[in-house]
Chains A and B, each alone.
Chain A
Amino acid sequence: MREDISKISKWGLGLVFLAALLVLPQVLSYSQREIAVLLVINVLLVASYRLMTLTGEWSLGHVVIMGVGAYASALFAKRLGVPVPVSMFLGASTAGLAAAVLSFPLFRMKGFYFLIGSFAAGEVIRLVWKYFSTPFGGPKGIKLIPGFPDIGPISMFEPENYYYLCLAVVSLSLFILYRIEQSRIGLTFHAIHWQDKLAESVGVGTFRYRMLAFVLASFFAGLSGALYAHYIGTINPTRFDVEEMVFVLIWAIVGGTNTFFGPIIGVVALTIINEIILRSLGFDSARPMIYGALLILSVLFLPKGLEGVVQKAGRIFKARKAPEPTVRREQNA
C-alpha cells in the first residue's frame, strides 16, 4: 500500500515538474527564453556525458563529438539540401559512427591515458575542421545554417517555440538514456566500471560494452549539437574546444555523477547562477571569478555534489512524513 502511495506521489511530482517546464517560457523574459533553449540543449549534452562515464571512462572529447553532430547536420542540410529534422538525425548518427571508429584506438587505453587519448582525438577532429575550408569553413566555420522549418504559423526562430521542440526531443532522449541505465546493459556498464576484470571473467565483452556506451553517448551528444547548430545558425571549431569541455566537466562534478539527475542539476543550477543571477546583479566582468569560487566551494563543502544535497533533503522530507513505527509506539505504551 505504502509503495503504491510512493509511486503515485512520484508520478504526481513528475507531472507537476513537467507542467512547470511547459509553463516556464510564459514566465521568462525573451532573452531568458533564449537561455532556456541553450540550457535544455546542454542538459542533453551533460546527461549523455554521464552515460559515457558509467563505464568508468572520462572523456575530454565529448564536446567535439557534439560538434561532429553539429557539423554533420549543418552540412547535410546546407550542402545536400536534406530536410533539417532528417539532417539532425543523420548528424547524431554521424557522431555515433565517429565514436564507433574512435573506439578502436581509444579503448586500447584506460583511465588517465584514455582521458588524454580522447583529448588528442578531439583535437585532431577540430584541426580537420579548421584545415579544410571546404566543406567545413575553416576557422570561421559554417554560417547561415538552415533553421528548423516553421510548423504552419509557428516560427521556430522564436525561442519559445524552439524551447518546446528541444524540450520534446530532450525529454524523449533522457527517457531513453534513463531506461538504458536501468536496463541490464546499464548494469553491465556499472560492472565494467567497478570490476572490469571480474566482468570479463564471466564472459562480458568489455570492449563491446565500452564501445556501446561511447556510441550511444555520442549519438545523443551529436543530437544536442544538431539542435544547437540549427538554432544559432553558425558553428565554428572554437565553439567545441577544450574550454567548453571544461564547462561540461564542471557541470558534472558540481552536480554529482552518482545519480542520473546529478549532472542535470549541475548544469541547471550553474547556468541559472552564471547567466541569470550574476548578469542581473551586474557582475558581467567578474562572472568567471565568481563562477570559479563557487566551483571551489562546492568541491570543498559538497563532495557528493548538488545531488547529495537533494538526496539529503529528500531523506529529511521522507523521515518527517513517515508515520512513527508501530513497534516503538507499543514500547512507549
Chain B
Amino acid sequence: MRLTSTPRRISRRELLLTSSAAVTMLATTGAPKFAFGADKTVKIGFLAPLTGAVAAWGKPGLDGCQIWSDRVNNAGGIEIGGDRYKVEFIAYDNEYDPGKARTGAAKLIKEDGVKFIMMLGGDTWPGVQPMAEREGMLVSTLLPSDLTPDTKTLIAPCEVHPIYNVTGVQWLAENKPDMKTAVICAQDDALGKPSVATYLAAFEAAGIDVIDEPLFFDPATTDFAPVMTRLLSGKPDILCLDTCYADYVHPLCEQAFQQGFQGTIISCTADFYPKIIEKTSKEFMEGFVFQFPDFDDPALNDANVNFSKPNEFFQEYANRFGESEWSAVSWEYASIMDLWADAASKAGSIEPGDVLAAMKSSGKGKHAFGDADWWGEELFGIDNALVGNWPVVVIENGKAVIKEYKSIPDWWNQHSDLVIKHFRALGQMWDQRG
C-alpha cells in the first residue's frame, strides 16, 4: 500500500514562530564563527559617476566592490584591532560634477560616517578636496594627476595613470620594431592631456616618430569620421587612442575599420572590447595593445600578483553582470580595498589617519600587480602614488591576453626627463595645473 499525504500549507504565524525559534537557537547554541564572526561594520564611501558619460569608470567599479565585500563578509570580515569588521559600501553618484561630488562627500563623511572614500577623481576631486582636508578623510583616486603637494590625504594606490601607458609603447617597440610612425588623438579634457604627454614621451623613448600634432577633439564630438580621416592621412603605422573614454574608443575603432586602417592600435583602455569586435572584426582587432587585462587571464596567477583569486573574481563578475560588462575599473576599486584592509589590520584602527600612516609606513605597498613603491615626488610633488609593475595586454583571437609585466620604475629611471618635458609642454605638471 502506498501512503500518500497532502502537503500541509504552513500558516504565516507558524512560519514566524519556527523562524524565530531557529534564530534564537542558533544565537544561543553558537553559530559557526564565519557566519556571525563580524560584530562591527566599517562603512566605505564610493563617490564616483554612476550615470552619465563617465559612468563606465564608476559603475563597474562599484559592482566589483560588491563582490569584494561579499567575499570578505562571508569570510567573517576583517580583523582590526582585535575586532572583526564587516564592510559596507555606501555609494553616491557624483555625475562627474564637482558640486555634486562636494554634496556626496558631505553626506558620506558627516551623515554616513564612512572611514575611507574611493573616487574616480579628475574634475570631481577639487570639489571634494576642502571637505576631505578639513575632516582629515582618506580619499583614493584613480587619477594621480589629482595629486599635488597639498593633497596630503589623497592617495593613488592602484592606477598610476597615465604613466603605466609607457609599458604598452615599450612592448610594442620591442615586439614590432617595424612600426616606426604614430598618430595620437584624445578628447580635450583633464584625462586626455596628461595621457598624450605620456605617450609622446614613450614614443620618443622608443624611437617612434609621431608624424602629426596630437589631435584633441571636443568631448561633445559624436561624428568621428573626420577625426579618423585626418589621423590616417599621414598613413601611420600606429594609431594611438590615448585615454579616450569607451564612448570614443568604440566609434574611433569603427571608423578606423571602415577607413581601412591596417596598422596597430594602441590605447590605454579597451573597455567592453567584445562589442568593438562585433562592430569591426576579429581580424581587425588582432594585435590591439592596451593596459587592462581580463581577470580570467592565467598570467594573473603569477606569484607576484597580490590581487586575491583574480580568476574567481572575474568569474563571479561575469556571472553577476555579464562578461561583456567587464571594464578597466571592475577590479581597481576592489584592489584598493585590499590595500586598505591590509593597512587597517596593520594599524589596528579604521581611523583615516592611522590607516594612511600604516599604508605608507615602509614606503612600499602590495599593489594588485606586485609589490610597489610609494612614488610621485618628481611628477606630482608628493609620494602618494603606488607604482610598480603593470601588464601589457594584447587582443589575440578576440580575447585580451597579458603578454608581459613591465616595470614602470625601470622605465622612469631611464626616461623621466622626457615625461617631465612633455608634461610641462602641455601644462600638466602639478605646479601648472589650475
Contact = CB atoms under 8 A, between A and B. Distances in A.
Contacts of A159: 106
B185 to A, nearest CB: 15
A287 B49 CA distance: 12
A137 B433 contact: yes
A38 B104 CA distance: 13
Interface in B209-256: 218-220
A279 B96 CA distance: 16
Given A31-B103, A138-B193, A285 B51 contact: yes
Interface in A208-242: 228, 232-236, 238-239, 241-242
Interface of B is mostly: helix
A287 B129 contact: no
B107 interface: yes
B370 interface: no
A124 to B, nearest CB: 12
Interface residues of B, number: 37
B434 A234 contact: yes
Nearest to B51: A288
B220 A234 contact: no
A284 interface: yes
B51 A142 contact: no
Given A232-B102, A241-B220, A140 B97 contact: no
B126 interface: yes
B8 interface: no
A31 B110 contact: yes
Nearest to A242: B220
Interface in B87-123: 91-93, 96-99, 102-104, 106-107, 110-111, 123
Nearest to B130: A233
Contacts of B193: 138-139
Contacts of B97: 239
Interface residues of A, number: 37
Contacts of A239: 97-99, 123
Given A34-B102, A232-B98, A143 B107 contact: no
Nearest to B145: A140
A235 B99 CA distance: 9
A157 B123 contact: no
A4 to B, nearest CB: 45
B111 A232 contact: no
B362 interface: no
B123 A238 contact: yes
Nearest to A138: B427
Contacts of A234: 98, 123, 126-127, 434
A180 B292 CA distance: 58
A236 B312 CA distance: 41
Given A233-B126, A233-B127, A284-B50, A139 B93 contact: no
A31 B434 contact: no
A141 interface: yes
Interface in B37-78: 50-52, 55, 59
A130 B192 CA distance: 12
Nearest to A144: B434
A30 B433 contact: no
A232 B123 CA distance: 12
Contacts of B92: 279, 284
A34 B93 contact: no
Contact of A29 (B50, B111, B134): B111
A258 interface: no
Contact of A157 (B52, B107, B129, B130): B130
Interface string A13-38: 00000000000000001110011001
B176 to A, nearest CB: 32
Contacts of A238: 96, 123, 189, 219
A220 to B, nearest CB: 19
B45 to A, nearest CB: 12
A133 interface: yes
A241 to B, nearest CB: 7
A228 B190 contact: no
A34 B219 contact: no
Contacts of A287: 51, 93
A138 B186 CA distance: 14
6 contacts: A31-B103, A139-B192, A141-B434, A234-B127, A284-B51, A288-B52
Interface of A: 29-31, 34-35, 38, 127, 130, 133-134, 137-144, 147, 157, 159, 228, 232-236, 238-239, 241-242, 275, 279, 284-285, 287-288
Ranked nearest first, the 6 interchain pairs of A and B with the lowest CB-CB distance are A143-B434, A234-B126, A31-B107, A34-B103, A139-B189, A30-B110
Given A138-B427, A143-B126, 18 more contacts: A30-B110, A30-B111, A31-B110, A31-B111, A34-B102, A140-B189, A141-B123, A143-B129, A157-B134, A232-B98, A232-B99, A232-B126, A234-B127, A238-B189, A241-B220, A284-B51, A284-B92, A285-B59
Interface of B: 50-52, 55, 59, 91-93, 96-99, 102-104, 106-107, 110-111, 123, 126-127, 129-130, 134, 188-190, 192-193, 218-220, 427, 432-434
